[in-house]
Structure 1
Amino acid sequence: MIKSEISSLSSSLLTAIQETNKSKEKLIFQKKEINQIINLIFKKIKLGGKLIFCGNGGSAADAQHLAAEFLIRLRPKVNRKPIQAISLALDTSTITACGNDYDFDKIFSRPFQALVKKNDVLIAISTSGNSKNIIEVLKEAKKKKILSISFLGFQGGKAKNHSQKYLIIKSNNVARIQETHIFLGHFILEKVEDLLLKNKII
C-alpha cells in the first residue's frame, strides 16, 4: 500500500472513530432515561421476570449477544448464577415456519405470546424503528401489560409510539447506531448485574 493510500485510510479510520465516539457521548443527554431503565429491569428480574430480546439483521445478532451475556456471563471476573434471558430470533425452523404459515411480521409476536410471563421485559432493537415485526411485538407487549424498552436510531420511527421506554441514537449512519446499541446494551446490563449482586439476588 503506497503512502497516499495509507494516509487516506488513516483519515477515514479517524473519522469513523470520531463518529462512533460522538454517538456514544450523546447518550449523556439520555442519562435520566438510562437510569430509569436500569432500575426497571432490576425490579422486574427481582420479581422473577426474564429479559426477552428481539431485532432484525445486525440487531438480531445484538439481541442474541445480549441474551447470552445474561444467560452465561457478562464480565470475566464476575461469576454468578445465570439470569433468565432469551432472544426471539430462536432458530431457522421457528422463523421460517412463522413466515410461511403466518407472516414475517409475526416472527417475534408469535413466540412472544408463547414465552412471555408476568414481570418479563421486552427489549426491542431496531435501527429504523419502523420494522413491522418489531411494531407487532411491541403492540403485543402493551396488550399483555409487559414492560417494553426499545433501542432505536434515526428519529425513533413508529416504534417509539408503541414502547413504554425508549432510547434513540440520533444518527443517520446505521453502523454507528448499531455500534452504540451494543455499547448501550452492555452498559445497562452491567449496571443491572451490579444491582442484582449488591442485593444478593444472584
Structure 2
Amino acid sequence: MQKKFKSQTDQLHASLLDAEQWHRQLAETVQCLKQAFTKRKKVLVAGNGGSATIAQHFADEMVGRYRMSRPPYPVIALTADSAVLTCIGNDFSFQDIFSRQVQALGEAGDVLLVFSTSGKSENLLRAVRQASQQNMLIVAFTGNKFPLEESVSCAVTVPSEDPPRIQELHLHAIHLICETFEPDSAK
C-alpha cells in the first residue's frame, strides 16, 4: 500500500517538473481575472464531474472567502443549479448545458473559466465557442492541449494524462489564485 502511495505522489511531483511555465500561466490567469474584476465584470465557471466540484469550489472561495474576510468577487458556477442543468439537458441537449447559460449570463469582457482534464468535453467546447462569440475572455484549465486553443485568452495546462493528478493540480492552482486576492497578498 505504501508503494502505491509513493507512486501516486511521485506522479504528482513529476507533473510539476516544469513549475516555472505553470507559474507563468497562473500569473497570466490572475491578471486576466483582476482585469475583469477591475472593469466590474463577472466570471462564469464550468466543468464536468470532479472538475465541476473544482469549479464550484473556486466560486465558493471567491464569493465567500479563502482565508480572510474581503469583499466578494462576482464568480458564478454554471454547475450549481440542478434545475437549470436538467432543463437544458432535457429540452435541448446535455452538450448545451453550459453554452445556453453563457448565452444568457455572459457579456463582453466577462470571463468564462473552464476546467477539463482532457480538454475535449463537447459541452465545454460549445461554451467556449459561445463565449468567444460574445467577446468574453476564456481561461482553460486542462491536462492536454485544448482543441480550441486559439479561442483561449489564458491556459493553465498540467503536463499529465492522469485525471486524478490533473484535478489535484487544478485544485492547487485555484488555491494559489485565491491567495492573490487575499487582503495581504501584496506583502
Q: TM-score, normalised by structure 2?
A: 0.91
SS in structure 2 at match of 1:158: coil
> Do the aligned residues in 2 keep the contact of 1:130 with 1:159 (CA within 8 Å)?
no
What CA distance in whole angstroms lies between the structure 1 residues aligned with 2:184 and 2:114? 22
| Residue pairs, 1:123-134, within 5 angstroms | 123-134=113-124
| Residue pairs, 1:78-97, within 5 angstroms | 78-97=68-87
- The equivalent of 2:106 in structure 1 is 116
- The residue type equivalent to 1:141 in the other structure is A
> Do the aligned residues in 2 keep the contact of 1:134 with 1:159 (CA within 8 Å)?
no
In structure 2, do the counterparts of structure 1 residues 195 and 147 end up closer, same or farther at CA, with 3 Å as the change threshold? farther
Q: Which runs of 4+ in 1 moved over 4 A?
A: 194-198
SS in structure 2 at match of 1:130: coil
- The residue type equivalent to 1:158 in the other structure is P
- The equivalent of 2:36 in structure 1 is 44
What's the offset of the Cα at 1:162?
3.2
What's the offset of the Cα at 1:55?
0.3
| Residue pairs, 1:40-189, within 5 angstroms | 40-75=32-67, 78-153=68-143, 155-189=144-178
Structure 1: unaligned runs, 5 residues or longer: 1-8
What's the offset of the Cα at 1:10?
1.0
What's the offset of the Cα at 1:46?
0.9
CA offsets per residue over residues 40-62 of structure 1, 9 Å max, x none?
21111011012210000000010
- Picking from 182, 186, 190, the partner of 2:179 is 190
CA offsets per residue over residues 63-90 of structure 1, 9 Å max, x none?
0010000010111xx2111111111113
> Do the aligned residues in 1 keep the contact of 2:107 with 2:135 (CA within 8 Å)?
no
SS in structure 1 at match of 2:53: helix
Bigger mean CA deviation after superposition, 176-185 or 115-124: 115-124
- The equivalent of 1:6 in structure 2 is none
Structure exhibiting the larger radius of gyration computed from Cα positions: 1
SS in structure 1 at match of 2:107: coil
Q: TM-score, normalised by structure 1?
A: 0.85
What CA distance in whole angstroms lies between the structure 1 residues aligned with 2:76 and 2:53? 12
Structure 2: unaligned runs, 5 residues or longer: none
SS in structure 1 at match of 2:120: coil
SS in structure 1 at match of 2:164: helix
Quote the sequence identity (%). 29
SS in structure 2 at match of 1:73: coil
What's the offset of the Cα at 1:116?
1.4
Point out the structure with the larger helix share. Answer: 1
